[in-house]
Amino acid sequence: MQAMLLKQQKLPLSLEDVPKPEPASDEVLVEVLACGVCRTDLHVLDGELPHPKLPLILGHEIVGRVVETGKNISNLRKGQLVGVPWLARTCHMCEFCKSGRENLCDRAVFTGYTKDGGYGEYVCAVEEFCFAIPDGYDPVSAAPLMCAGLIGWRSYKMAGEAKALGIYGFGGAAHILTQVAQAEKKEVYAFTRSGDSAGQQFAKSVGAIWAGGSSEKPPVLLDAAIIFASAGELVAQALRTVKKGGAVVCGGIHMSDIPSIPYDSLWGERSIKSVANLTRQDGLDFLAALSKHHIKTTVHPYELGEANRALGDLRNGRFTGAAVLTIKN
Instruction: Let me know: does 240 contact 266? Beta carbons within 8 Å.
Output: no
Q: Which CATH class is domain 150-274?
A: alpha beta
Note the pTM of the prediction, 2 decimals. 0.94
Alpha-carbon distance 260 to 121, whole Å?
Answer: 46
pLDDT in tens, 25-51: 999 999 999 999 999 999 999 999 999
pLDDT at 271 over 80: yes
Instruction: For the chain, give every domain's residue range.
Output: 2-148+277-326, 150-274
DSSP count for the chain of H helices, then E strands: 10, 18
Closest CA to 131 of 295, 279, 318: 279
* Residue 259 DSSP label: P
Alpha-carbon distance 138 to 197, whole Å?
Answer: 30
DSSP per-residue codes, 134-193:
PTT--HHHHGGGGTHHHHHHHHHHHTTT-SEEEEES-SHHHHHHHHHHHHTT-EEEEEES
Radius of gyration of the chain (CA): 19
pLDDT at 329 over 70: no
Instruction: Report the pLDDT averaged over residues 127-146.
Output: 94
pLDDT in tens, 218-233: 999 999 999 999 999 9
pLDDT in tens, 194-218: 888 999 999 999 999 999 999 999 9
Mean pLDDT of the chain: 95
Instruction: Let me know: does 282 contact 7? Beta carbons within 8 Å.
Output: no
Instruction: Report the pLDDT averaged over residues 49-58.
Output: 97
Tallying the residues shown for the chain, one arrives at 329
Alpha-carbon distance 282 to 304, whole Å?
Answer: 29
Give residue 58's pLDDT: 98
Confidence of residue 293 (pLDDT cuts 50, 70, 90): confident
Alpha-carbon distance 171 to 179, whole Å?
Answer: 13
Assign domain 2-148+277-326 to its CATH superfamily: Medium-chain alcohol dehydrogenases, catalytic domain (3.90.180.10)
**Residue 125: helix, strand or coil by DSSP?**
strand
**Residue 120: helix, strand or coil by DSSP?**
strand
Alpha-carbon distance 137 to 53, whole Å?
Answer: 31
How far out from the chain centre does Cα 60 lie?
8
Instruction: Let me know: does 87 contact 102? Beta carbons within 8 Å.
Output: yes
